[in-house]
Amino acid sequence: MQDVIIIGAGPCGLSAAIECQRRGLSTRIIEKHCLVHSIFLYPTHMQFFSTAEMLEIGDIPFTTSNDKPFRYEALAYYRKVAEHYGLAISQYEEALTLERKEDQTFLVQTVDRSGTRHQYEARNVVISTGYFDHPNYIGIPGEDLEKVTHYFREAHPYSGMKVAIIGGSNSAVDAAMELIRVGARIDMIYRGETVSENIKPWVRPVFEAMVQKGKITVHVQSHVTEITESSVKIESKDGEISSIENDFVLALTGFRPDRKLLSSCGVELDGDMEKPLYNPETMESNVPGLYVAGVIASGRNANEVFIETGRNHGTLIAEHINASNS
């Protein structure tokens, strides 16, 4: 019987484990993939929007020689933090079911990469799963073609290719800027009137210059209606259909959290946004002893919670569990 089981070993899950452990609570983390898997899935050369101190957890300094840290630095930092605190982490072990028992404790059933089943009992459970496993699919013909991906890692495979980027957020702009360097021909298709207003301020002027020079063709107020092996079909807001020659499609349309474990255990989800019902002062859901931390607390709006804010959820959770035990 653990005091706390935490599902998800992202920065917010690690922070929750550290804060619980500091208060003498026996704690184990269950992680479906590797440590901080969401950050691992970021583009290889990605630079964070936030400064290093805003990503720190457990009072461990995040040192970097850059104004903003890069992905590889964050991976090293969170590995160091987990090692420093000796966190008990079961990596490559997926939580399949979560059940609240009659005695008000929880049963978590898991499976590891070899197919072996495990089960854990806990007085409290924290759901801190990310969202990179679940892309927002567009639902158009051809989206399942091999040439289409919802993840951008690095530009090299697209050297000299015709690449369509669906989206206008930071991830789409960052991908376009990397693709230029390898000689890709880029079409960016976005439903909005302009690309996102939240583009990194040090990137926006360079991006706009590349658009003006014709290095990137931007199709605003447009959406992709079909993807074929050799083209993408685009419809403008006026209903005009056009076809663009194409080799690869990066459908950077965002991601959504998986709420399966929450809903199966009785956590109420609020309306269309599917935001879990919880107390923002404690992060406890409507199910006593079941907490949320990180982006899972944000419902469908995955941009509502970031590492900078979600890292503080662990303190609220640990303090509430500790107070409940006293």
Task: Characterize the bridge pairing of strands 222-227 and 231-236.
Answer: antiparallel
The residue assigned the tokens 């457990």 is 58
Residue 11: strand, helix, or coil: helix
pLDDT of 301: 60
Residues 6+ apart with CB under 8 A from 227: 140, 141, 142, 143, 145, 147, 148, 233, 246, 249
Residue-wise pLDDT tens digits, 31-57: 999 999 999 999 999 888 889 999 999
* Residue 159 tokens, joined: 């050297």
Provide the whole-model pTM.
Answer: 0.88
CA angle 253, 276, 31 (to 5 degrees): 70
Q: How far apart are CA 45 and CA 154, in angstroms?
A: 7
Q: Are 160 and 41 in contact (CB under 8 A)?
A: no
Domain spanning 2-133+255-325, CATH class:
alpha beta
pLDDT of 273: 58
Share of the chain above pLDDT 70, in %: 97
pLDDT of 91: 97
Residues (pLDDT < 50) of the chain are none
Please name the fold of domain 148-251: FAD/NAD(P)-binding domain (3.50.50)
pLDDT of 237: 87
Does 2-133+255-325 match 148-251 in CATH topology?
A: yes
Concatenated DSSP letters of 148-169: EES----SGGGTT-EEEEE--S
Q: Where are the domains of the chain?
A: 2-133+255-325, 148-251
pLDDT of 271: 67
